[in-house]
Chains A and B, each alone.
Chain A
Amino acid sequence: MKMAVFLGCTVPVRNLSYELSAKRVAGELGLELVDIPEFNCCGYPVKSVHHETAYLLAARNLALAEERGLDICTLCSACTSVLTEVSRELASNEALLDATCKSLGMLGRRYSGKVKVRHFVRVLYEDIGLEALKKAVKRPLDMFSIASHYGCHYLKPSEIYDGFDHPEVPESLDKLVAVTGARAVDYRTKKDCCGGAILGVDEETALSMARAKLDDINSAGADAINLICPFCSVMYGANQRKIGSGHGVKYDLPILYYPQILGLAMGINHEELGLMQNPIRPRALLAKIS
């Protein structure tokens, strides 16, 4: 199986360990991820400023993947939602496709509406499948308790995601954690948003949103948070110390990207998964394995 990997803006600069571990694990599982360096921003940050521009930014990315005959596999949940939305709109709305093609033509590009978009973790869940993942596990992580953060755009708006998981009672990430042998931790605020989208508008509110979940996961006794979106990582990882110091708390709660958790369970060395490059270094966690 071969897909174009869409890195987006944040992953290739701020979350290299996510990219590294996803590619490492994918290779092991027979999923070939092809880089397309010419990709631009998915369009999500521009959608609230100028709808047409956001759609055209997304369409150019879809066109680049179609030129190579590949579907898109995303690592960022916001990229997933905009690229999925636009790919579905263009596949079902001929007038919009015509108008978009006219604009793409000015860039010397074309698009016929064929590309499908899915999050990396959804590809693991649906295409590789839990059974195959279970077989790939060589070192069960039964010493870990891991709390999954679903975030928003991985699941919602649900009408663009073919019902692969339930937006109100999600389970895919918990099942993916359980497959590694780790205990999937349930907690009250599991479905809540990280607040990342309004960090630049109202930092206090955004950080308070992230804090509520950090508090909850901490008291649920988890060893780490399972993340599948680079911007959620900015909130829970890069901003963790800031959130804590604002309230006299020291969290020290490692954030792990799902392919890192899976990779560890598959017996891959933590260095090849970039674990010590994560915003919160998971020293205690790694000590538990060795």
Chain B
Amino acid sequence: MESAQKKDVPVVTILDPKFKYEVAREPGGENIKYCFQCGTCTSGCKVAELDSKYNPRKIIRMVILGMRERVLSSDFIWLCATCYTCHERCPQDVRIPEVMNALKNIAVREGYIHPAFRAQAELIAGYGRLYEVDELANEKRTDWGLQEIPQGCPEVAEIYGITGLADLLSSGAGGKS
């Protein structure tokens, strides 16, 4: 009987009806409730064309329905290429790439950060930039007649301290992905 139930009854997703308000309070997420599901975003999305895991219309629908854990723990929110094609075409000014950023910001605080984005954030904290400008790189710059660039930028680590991102990254909160 028990196994029959498991087989026949669909898994019910726990819904959080307040999730859409949470997203709307996040910078970039303000317009999420304007979405009327026309699908203009997905139809013009180059990522969605190649990878069906990414479907901005569906992600927004999931948020509005309150599928908080499913959305925040998923990989698909990290697949927006921020090309802003949907942003230009959305008739409701939902600001979809910004909504995706809002979702990713919440996901990071909830312990879900994509490893590639964690790595980038840590590189920038360390070097002040995405790439280290080491002695060799500076030698090449000098050879080309280009100005040297200082190695490291301590003020960036200070910024991470001021905003709390340093704590967020070091707490291991971003470990799950």
Whether A152 lies near B84 (C-beta < 8 A) is yes
Q: Is the CB of A107 closer than 8 A to any CB of chain B? A: yes
Map CB proximity to B onto A89-121 as digits: 1 under 8 Å, 0 otherwise. 000000000000001001100000000000000
- For A9, the chain B residues whose CB sits under 8 A away are 129-131
Q: Is the CB of B168 closer than 8 A to any CB of chain A? A: yes
Query: For residues 70 through 121 of chain B, which have their beta carbon under 8 Å from a beta carbon of chain A?
Result: 75, 78-85, 87-88, 97, 100-102, 104-105, 108, 113-114, 116-121
Q: Is the CB of A267 closer than 8 A to any CB of chain B? A: no
Whether A152 lies near B83 (C-beta < 8 A) is yes
- For A60, the chain B residues whose CB sits under 8 A away are 155-156, 159
In the assembled complex, the Cα of A35 lies from the Cα of B145 at a distance in Å of 13
Whether A56 lies near B133 (C-beta < 8 A) is no
Whether A200 lies near B120 (C-beta < 8 A) is yes
In the assembled complex, the Cα of A38 lies from the Cα of B146 at a distance in Å of 15
Known contacts A156-B88, A209-B50, A45 near B144 by CB under 8 Å: no
Interchain nearest-CB distance for A58 vs B (Å): 10
In the assembled complex, the Cα of A206 lies from the Cα of B47 at a distance in Å of 8
Which of A14, A51, A53, A191 meets B160, CB within 8 Å? Answer: A53
Whether A45 lies near B124 (C-beta < 8 A) is yes
Known contacts A52-B163, A198-B79, A41 near B129 by CB under 8 Å: yes
Known contacts A13-B131, A200-B116, A40 near B155 by CB under 8 Å: yes
Q: Is the CB of B158 closer than 8 A to any CB of chain A? A: yes
Whether A37 lies near B147 (C-beta < 8 A) is yes
Q: In this complex, which of A20, A48, A158, A198 has the most chain B Cβ atoms within 10 angstroms of its Cβ? A: A48
Query: For residues 198 through 215 of chain A, which have their beta carbon under 8 Å from a beta carbon of chain B?
Result: 198, 200-202, 205-206, 208-209, 212
Interchain nearest-CB distance for A91 vs B (Å): 17
Query: For residues 14 through 49 of chain A, which have their beta carbon under 8 Å from a beta carbon of chain B?
Result: 14, 16, 19-20, 23, 35, 37-38, 40-41, 45-49
Q: Is the CB of B18 closer than 8 A to any CB of chain A? A: no
Q: Is the CB of B66 closer than 8 A to any CB of chain A? A: no
Whether B105 lies near A46 (C-beta < 8 A) is no
Whether B158 lies near A14 (C-beta < 8 A) is no
Please give me the residue from chain B that is nearest to A189 by CB atom: B46
- For A23, the chain B residues whose CB sits under 8 A away are 146
- For B47, the chain A residues whose CB sits under 8 A away are 195, 198, 205, 209
Whether A53 lies near B163 (C-beta < 8 A) is yes
Which of B78, B128, B168 meets A40, CB within 8 Å? Answer: B128
Q: Is the CB of B38 closer than 8 A to any CB of chain A? A: no
In the assembled complex, the Cα of A209 lies from the Cα of B140 at a distance in Å of 32
Whether B121 lies near A16 (C-beta < 8 A) is no
In the assembled complex, the Cα of A51 lies from the Cα of B131 at a distance in Å of 21
Whether A48 lies near B147 (C-beta < 8 A) is no
Q: Is the CB of B153 closer than 8 A to any CB of chain A? A: yes
- For B65, the chain A residues whose CB sits under 8 A away are none
- For A195, the chain B residues whose CB sits under 8 A away are 46-47, 81
- For B128, the chain A residues whose CB sits under 8 A away are 40-41
| 7 pairs, A vs B, C-beta closer than 8 Å | A9-B131, A49-B108, A51-B27, A52-B164, A53-B159, A53-B163, A167-B84
